[in-house]
A and B are shown apart, each in its own frame.
Chain A
Amino acid sequence: MSAGPEAVLETQGLTASYGDFQALFGIDLHVRRGETVAIIGANGAGKSTFLRSVVGQLPSAREQVSFEGEPIGHLPAHEIVRRGIALVPEGRLLFPSLSVEENLRMGAYGRRAGPWGIGRVHELFPVLAERRATPGTALSGGEQQMCAIGRALMSNPVLLLCDELSLGLAPVIIRQIYAVLPTIVAEGTTVVVVEQDINQALAVADRVYCFQEGRVSLQGRPEDVSREDVTRAYFGV
């Protein structure tokens, strides 16, 4: 299936390895402008590896990843964020030496013009305004996740990649965090969420990809894929 001209992100035969261990085996995936795409899959399916390849933390070949029609597979992470891709990394990875506000300002280091600034992020997550002077890592897990999302938004990304937003958080917090996605999408941001929580992923996504052992095992619109399809693609049984 061709992505067409409206594709923001497209990968063709994307492979990735950690030393001798190959984690991705030719991923073909595309994301259209304004879409929310979910990537689901079990632990070790290659979801996080995929995101890390897209943002340039893992090396890939020039033509394997293109963004807004241009090949970016060969670029380092710091150049990719300036082109408009931001990642909310797995485990939040806030800077412990920096306050909440400084963490947000760090996100604006490679800033592009756009709607997001400290004020908008504070509107989205008021707790980040209240605790602006606290060290980032002194926040609760959910607040850290909000800070990590805010930090990524500060660069005004065209494409926001979220890795395991729900990891280690209580269900009520997960709902709070997912509740802001529509606001982000309404600003015209294209969103990719990686999730182990299938229900959460299917609820927010326009389209879903399932990864299994480094390959795409299923793709489609949530309403078009059956429970059995998902289970088979997810677990490989």
Chain B
Amino acid sequence: MEWLDAIIQGILLGGLYALFATGLSLIFGVMRLVNIAHGDLIVLAAFLGLAMVNGTGVHPLLSLIVTVPVMAAIGYALQRGILNLTLGRDILPPLLVTFGLSIIIQNVLLEVFSADTQRLKAGALETASIAIGDQIAIGWFPLIVFLAALGVIAGLQLMLFRTRLGMAFRATSDDHRTAGLMGIDNRHVFALAMALALGVVALAGTFMAIRTNFSPAIGPARLLYAFEAVIIGGLGSLWGTLAGGVILGVAQAIGAKFHPGGQILAGHVAFLIVLVLRPNGLFPRTRDR
């Protein structure tokens, strides 16, 4: 029973990792951009939520009404103003620029909010749970996070395959020059993709801030989890990214059962095992042409 509990908790934790990774997966899929600042943007969203909650006293989940659109707007401006200029045949400029961005965000957050660890308080929601039998309890909050991840990925999937914008994303991902011949402004389409990605980042950042302590320096570790989830799932596949997040979460939960310090290590080991056995991930969609 203890093991079953660990696996369930791991699956639910995987929902959070999938939310970390979805934005990364989406923008890599649409524009082949690897965003090194992704983790720091998650932390930025967490601090935005903190400022909202401290400033107005609203519940952290209500703060999403503001932070999601604000992060989306930041994403659009960031892509139009900076990142579009770095895209080209060479993959190095976007890597270097987003790496620089990562350092800038960390230092600005350090300057404004100090190095203290913070936490978003969600009141009774933090401890509320549903008891199943004597030994298993499913927390409401982890369940909400997992369902949110399912909802976000299902929504993005529908958008990609059922809407005009989704078709434009896929066509631009295939060949942005030819997409231009169809009347698509790829700078605008890329910026919309980044806006969507950072909207999801706002969700991920707020959930993270309710679940764990955070400080300006923890971005790169979130980036690592996001990368691992994306690569386990296979590049360009959103459902694969969810599977990757879940595998990572379950591996960590099982690792923690063996040894208190084993949690993080077990996640990385699971990632390495997948990388060795299936270098393209479990459900790859993207093939470089």
- Which residues of A pack against B, CB within 8 Å? 55-57, 76-78, 81-82, 86-87, 89, 93, 95-98, 102, 105-107, 109-111, 151, 155
Contacts and interface: CB of A to CB of B under 8 A. Distances in A.
Interface in B157-214: 164, 167-168, 170-171, 173-175, 177-186
Contacts of A96: 174, 289
B174 A109 contact: no
A98 B167 contact: yes
Given A105-B167, A109-B168, A95 B183 contact: no
Interface of B: 164, 167-168, 170-171, 173-175, 177-186, 289
Nearest to A152: B181
Q: Is the interface of B mostly helix, strand, loop or mixed?
A: helix
Contact of A57 (B167, B180, B182): B180
Contacts of B167: 98, 102, 105-106
A155 B183 contact: yes
Given A102-B167, A105-B167, A109-B164, A87 B181 contact: yes
Given A98-B167, A105-B167, A109-B168, A89 B181 contact: yes
A105 B168 CA distance: 10
B189 to A, nearest CB: 10
A189 to B, nearest CB: 16
A95 B181 contact: no
A93 to B, nearest CB: 5
Contacts of B186: 78
Given A96-B174, A97-B173, 13 more contacts: A76-B180, A76-B185, A81-B183, A87-B181, A96-B289, A97-B171, A106-B167, A106-B168, A106-B182, A109-B168, A109-B182, A110-B183, A155-B182
Nearest to A56: B180
Residue of B164, B174, B177, B181 with most partner-chain A CB within 10 A: B181
A109 B183 contact: yes
Nearest to B170: A97
A110 B188 CA distance: 14
Given A95-B170, A95-B175, A82 B180 contact: no
Contacts of B168: 106, 109
A41 B185 CA distance: 32
A105 B179 CA distance: 12
Contacts of A76: 180, 185
Contacts of A55: 181
B181 A57 contact: yes
Contacts of A87: 181
Contacts of B174: 95-98
B183 A78 contact: yes
